Amino acid sequence: MRHPIASYTVLGSVLLAALVVPWLSPYDYATPSWDALDLMPQWADGHWFGTDDLGRDLLVRLMWGCRISLLVGVLASLTSLVIGVGWGVTAGYAGGRTDAWMMRAVDVLYSVPFIPFVIVLTVIFGRNIVLLFVAIGAVSWLDIARIARGQALTLRQREFVEAARVGGMTSAQIIVRHIIPNLLGIVVVYLTLTIPTVILIEAFLSFLGLGAQAPLTSLGVMIAEGAAQLRSRPMLLLQPAVLLAVIVYCCNRIGDSLRDRFDPASLQDRGSGHG
Amino acid sequence: MGAFLLRRLLTAIPTLFVIVTLGFLLLHAAPGGPFDGEKAMLPEIRASIEAAYHLEEPLPLQYLRYLGQLARGDFGPSFQYRDTSVNELIAQGLPIDLTIGGLALLLALLMGIPLGVVAAAKRDTVWDRIGVAFSLLGISIPVYVTAPVLVLVFAVGLRWLPAGDWGGGAWRNLVLPVVALSLPYIAYVARILRASLADVLHAPYIRTARAKGLPWRTVILRHALKPALLPLVSFLGPAAVGVITGSIVIETTFGLPGIGRFFVDGAFNRDYTLVMGVTVLYGVLIVAANLVADICYAWLDPRVRLE
């Protein structure tokens, strides 16, 4: 597959805009402005996307939404990377009965409905953005664990691992120095496919009112707000919806192409079933 | 076959056990109880209510009591809806979820399979590219976006269909929820089938069929399609999970009285028994979907023996 240059460009532009626009704009995402309620898009005041029902600049809010979505996407994916690689490498390197039991646990967890648990978690422990990405990361590490385990299983039979063992390295040292660096490449490729999934979960929770809390916003929050005012101002829904779709599309596209490039063994298309 | 079913059911037990235990611990770790929202209660009344729900007992005892109840198929009384058992709430809501979820999956197969076949048959042509792009788009646009947009276009704009409400299950009320829920799955099904069919088409027996002079249409429909459906069957488990989470959104957007609504309300109101009941039910549904998937898999692929 060719490099999806368009996707890289678009995603890069969105990222850049999300970083730069709130910083350049005279408006911020939180302060209501009572003389600028529900403005249509206009050039005069610099409200290029108009304002919402509290007079807050929509462009700035959208860009903050992107920041939060991407931040949660990356941080939650990193959480799942740490848990997944830790679990998978331990299982794969240990092998035998330990491996069997650890992977059996992963199989069991695969059929646990996680979204309800994340909902319960966020309800119980308050709507804290840090907790949110830890919770999402904690439930999306299973794929990574399987891949890391498979890699560790083959890596541990390679000569350089044997040499390290003969040289007197402990298992922990071998795992950290030799196994993990060698499987990180393929794992990171799959991580690019975790990011869009995680972004969608965050938006889903925010849509239900369980994600980012006012005045902070995220694309999911803005979609929920827009859906509520659908009849009067459909743009309020369409703007964040299009932005979310574009981000997730580009991430998926990039992830797909990286996977096809670096992991020719798995051309199969695995579906991950979330809404 | 009987032994296979029995063993699969036995392996489902640890899964359900994990779900129940995790849910129980989480809910009881929650600060605040189900009756905190009420106006100030006399301590005696509070104590007697808590005694009625066994909330004053030590946690392990409550846990065992709950397991015992579940073993008898009893989810207990709801905290929030007084005088109603969780079983009754589920009995009210579940038919709605099953109708919408089932129809959505059916629609996903009916639309997704032809799309996947066309994409694989016309591989590396413009049609294939368009199909791949569209299916990736379908995966990237979540249900909570498509549902309001569909409402905007077909209910608010064109006024063809109602914007929400169950309406006793009339087909006009069903169309938008089912279509919204199925769109991502149409995309998934098409994607998975395209990849697996493309794989199968490289097999030697396909070359033999072609060499015999069979037209492509026959080769694909008669020889290649059946083995290519296998990955789709294993997708049934994850798809069931997705339809469940999707239905939570669908019920919120369209105002349908299904169990997803009960679940979200229950979580906000700390209705322990309701939330637990729905979570366990979700677990059972997923386990059942996986079981059905395994049986279909063995039926489609004689190499997999049901042992």
Query: A170-226: per-residue pLDDT in tens?
Result: 888 888 888 888 888 888 888 888 888 888 888 888 887 777 777 778 888 888 888
pLDDT bucket at A273, cuts 50 / 70 / 90: very low
Interface check for A213 against chain B (CB to CB < 8 A): the answer is no
Q: How far apart are CA B130 and CA A127, in angstroms?
A: 40
Please answer yes or no on whether B245 and A204 come within 8 Å at the CB atom: yes
pLDDT at A87: 92
The DSSP letter of residue B203 is: S
Band (A272; pLDDT cuts 50, 70, 90): very low
For residue A117, what are the CA distances in angstroms to A201, A202, A251, B231? Answer: 12, 14, 26, 28
- Average the pLDDT over each of A237-246, A266-275, B245-254 and give the range with the smallest value: A266-275
Q: Indicate yes or no: CB of A111 within 8 angstroms of CB of B237.
A: yes
Smallest CA–CA distance, residue B31 to chain A, in Å, is 7
B213-219 own/partner pairs: CB under 8 Å, 24+ apart: B216/B121
- Is A274's CB within 8 Å of B143's CB? no
Per the model's pLDDT, the better-predicted residue between A140 and A114 turns out to be: A140
Q: What is the mean pLDDT of chain A?
A: 80
Q: How many CB pairs under 8 A join A and B?
A: 161
CA dist., res. A31 & res. A163, Å (int): 62
Block residue for tokens 């998934």: B188
pLDDT band per the 50, 70, 90 thresholds, residue A85: very high
Are residues B179 and B150 in contact, defined by beta-carbon separation less than 8 angstroms? Answer: yes
Residue of B nearest to A250 (CA): B140
Q: Is the pLDDT of residue A271 over 50?
A: no
- Which two tokens mark A180? 């993990």
- Residues B140, B125: Cα–Cα separation, whole Å: 23
Interface test with A, best of B9, B97, B140 (most A CBs within 10 A): B140
Residue B108's identity, in one-letter code, is: A
Mutate to test the interface with B, among A106, A120, A244 (most CBs of B within 10 A): A120
Residue A269 pLDDT grade (very low, low, confident, very high; cuts 50, 70, 90): very low
What number is the average pLDDT over the span A14-36?
Answer: 75
Question: What residues contact B295, with CB distance under 8 A and at least 6 apart?
Answer: B306
Structure tokens at A209: 């009112």
Torsion region of A233: left, alpha or beta (phi above 0 gives left; psi -120 to 50 gives alpha):
beta
- Least CA distance to B129: which residue of chain A? A1
Measure B238 CA to nearest chain A CA, in Å: 4
B96, B257 in Cβ contact below 8 A? yes
How many Å apart are CA A123 and CA A136, to the nearest integer?
Answer: 14
Rounded Cα gap, residues B247 and B260, in angstroms: 7
Q: What is the pLDDT of residue B107?
A: 93
Helices A142-155 and A180-207, interaxial angle, to 10°?
170
Question: For A51, which DSSP code?
Answer: B
CB-based contact, B240 to chain A, within 8 Å: yes
Q: Are the CB atoms for B159 and B240 separated by under 8 Å?
A: no
Of B8, B1, B46, B90, the closest CA to residue B273 belongs to B90
The predicted pLDDT at position B33 comes to 63
CB contact under 8 A, B195 and A269: yes
CA–CA gap between residue B99 and residue B158 (Å, rounded): 25
* Complex prediction ipTM: 0.75
Q: In B, which residues are within 8 Å of A139 by CB distance?
A: none
CB contact under 8 A, B152 and A113: no
Query: What's the pLDDT at B99?
Result: 87
Residues of A in contact with B237 (CB under 8 A): 110-111, 273
Residue B54 burial (CB count, 10 A): 12
Residues of chain A in contact with residue B31, where contact means CB-CB under 8 angstroms, are 124
Q: For each of chain B's 307 residues, which pLDDT tens digit applies?
A: 667 777 777 777 887 888 888 878 877 776 666 666 556 667 777 777 777 777 777 788 888 888 888 888 777 777 777 777 888 888 888 888 888 888 999 999 999 999 888 888 887 788 888 888 888 888 888 888 888 888 888 877 777 877 777 767 677 788 888 999 999 899 989 988 888 888 888 888 888 888 988 888 888 888 888 888 888 887 877 787 778 778 888 888 888 888 888 888 887 777 777 888 888 888 888 888 888 887 777 777 776 655 4
Longest dimension (CA), chain B: 87
| Nearest C-alpha in A relative to B236 | A273
Please tell me if residue B143 touches chain A, with a CB cutoff of 8 Å.
yes
**Rounded Cα gap, residues B211 and B195, in angstroms:** 23
Q: B190 in contact with A at a CB cutoff of 8 Å?
A: no
Mutation site for B-interface testing, chosen from A207, A248, A251 by largest number of B Cβ within 10 Å: A207
Q: Measured between CA atoms, how close is A139 to chain B, in angstroms?
A: 13
Contact B152 A204 (CB under 8 A): no
- CA dist A68 and A72 (Å) reads 6
Cα B204 to its chain centre, rounded Å, is 37
Residue-level pLDDT at B110 = 92
Bridge partners, A57 (sequence order): A51
Residue type, A133: F
- Considering only CB atoms, which chain A residues are within 8 Å of B240? 273
Nearest to A119 by CA among A110, A132, A102: A132
CB contact at 8 A, A271 and B235: yes
Supply the pLDDT for residue B35: 65
- Choose the mutation target among A7, A111, A233 for the interface with B, i.e. most B CBs under 10 Å: A111
Beta bridge partners of B85: B77
Q: How many CB atoms lie within 10 A of CB A9?
A: 11
A241 interfaces chain B, CB cutoff of 8 Å? yes
CB contact under 8 A, A268 and B283: no
